[in-house]
Amino acid sequence: MDLPEINIAKRLVEKKVLEPPIDIFALAKKYASIRLMDIPFEIDGISINIKVPGRYPLIILNSSVHSTRMRFTLAHELGHILIPWHMGTIIDNTEEKYGTNNIYWVIESEANRFASELLMPSEWIKTIIKKRRSIEDTLDEIIDTADVSSPAAAISLIRSLETGYVFAMTNKDNEVILSGRSRGTLAVAPTLHAKIDSMKHFPFCKNFHQFEISGNSFLWWKFDDDVDLKKRRLDRRDWREILDRIVGDIGIPAIKIEKFKMSLNGVIASANANVRGDNRTVKAIYSACLQRIYSKPDLSLFVSHRDFDNFLIKRVEDLFDRRNH
């Protein structure tokens, strides 16, 4: 089920019969007065008199920002006015601060989701996805038609894609400045501000694309439901013996070995639990485990060990055999 703020935007799109590119200024003027000002701070907009009895709402926009950002900000401010539990005066920076439960950023995230759904309706995005073109072409069409920024388009697209997609947007130093994953995807999106090596991040993923749009660098991964098991070297050891060897080789202190194994087994158990029903095959479990394990930066030494593939294949086969016997 969609979140309430997304449903409010959807109802507005349906009621007003809106299609991208949406004339957000004409729409917002039906609900508030709008004023443009050159604001000398990192402020995108301000909403005043939100649901104040006897007062008409006022939206102040920073006139010094790019037009696409101003459009998104105006849609964001309209969200504050139409979302029932937003009220008073709100000063906005529309860039979400992920990883915080601060009530201000919770409200800002709600307004951002409203704005995304309003400017880029999910049903409209699905019609573009159905064309089955490349991710780059899909993003281009969303950006050009909806008149939005590439980061805003990427966030809306990832929310509408089927399970199995992850993306990251990076700066010139290969630091992640935006990331996300589609619903139900086991792989975790790259951590914000982390440096990323595109050749080493999810190296098992065959469907990987890297491109630039509007000056921003994007990395997109599409994970298969199952992955062919690598041809392993002849190895008579069971997975426990191989694990002990790897742990010894990568230099984990004796006092931390048990904790490391418990953490690793937790990651594998989580991946295994997500593969159910008719989809449960050795290849599917293997794919799920790879997605989970490669999402853990603290396991980078572990996955680079020459015995890693042998360990994981034997571990997965053991998990499959136990469930099916």
The residue among 228 and 151 whose pLDDT is bigger is 151
28-37, 189-198, 314-323: which is most confident: 28-37
CA count, 13 A, side-chain hemisphere, 215: 1
Q: What H or E segment, with its residue span, contains residue 275? A: none
Lowest mean pLDDT among 102-116, 173-187, 299-313: 102-116
Mean pLDDT of 172-190: 94
If we measure between CA atoms, which residue out of 37, 45, 105 comes closest to residue 81? Answer: 45
CB hemisphere CA count around 50 (13 angstroms)? 20
pLDDT at 321 over 60: yes
User: Does residue 36 surpass a pLDDT of 70?
Assistant: yes
Helix (H) or strand (E) holding 154: helix 150-160
Q: pLDDT at residue 50 above 60?
A: yes
Please state, in angstroms and rounded to a whole number, the distance separating the CA atoms of residues 186 and 49. 43
Residues β-bridged to residue 33: 58
Residue 230 pLDDT > 80, yes or no?
Answer: no
Phi and psi, residue 212, nearest 5°: -120, 140
Per the prediction, the chain carries an average pLDDT of: 91
Q: What is the spatial distance between Cα 158 and Cα 307, in angstroms, rounded to a whole number?
A: 34
**CA-to-CA distance for 86 and 140, rounded, in angstroms?**
33
Q: What is the mean pLDDT of residues 254-283?
A: 92
Which stretch of DSSP H or E encloses residue 106? Answer: helix 103-119
pLDDT at 225 over 90: no
Pair 63, 103: CB distance under 8 Å: no
pLDDT band at 323 (very low <50, low <70, confident <90, very high): low
CB 311 within 8 A of CB 243: yes
Mean pLDDT score, 6-28: 97
* pLDDT band at residue 99 using 50, 70 and 90 as cut-offs: very low
Rounded Cα–Cα distance for residues 143 and 208 (Å): 21
Share of the chain above pLDDT 70, in %: 95
Mean per-residue pLDDT for 22-48? Answer: 93
Instruction: Please compute the mean of the pLDDT values over residues 25-32 and round it to a whole number.
Output: 97
Q: Can you tell me the distance from the alpha carbon of 35 to that of 226, in angstroms, rounded to the nearest whole number?
A: 54
Q: Is 129 buried (19+), middle (13-18) or exposed (0-12) by CB count in 10 A?
A: middle
Of 90, 122, 91, 98, which is closest to residue 5 (Cα–Cα)? 122
Q: Is the predicted pLDDT of residue 208 greater than 70, yes or no?
A: yes
Residues 6+ apart with CB under 8 A from 144: none
DSSP bridge partners of 217: 170, 212
241 neighbors 234 (Cβ within 8 angstroms)? no
Output the pTM of the full model. Answer: 0.86
Q: Is the pLDDT of residue 94 over 80?
A: no
148: CB partners within 8 A, 6+ apart: 68, 71, 72, 119, 120, 142, 156
| pLDDT for 93 | 67
Give the pLDDT score at 95.
63
pLDDT of residue 324: 64
Q: Please, which pLDDT band fits residue 215 given cuts at 50, 70 and 90?
A: confident
Classified as helix, coil or strand, 307 is coil
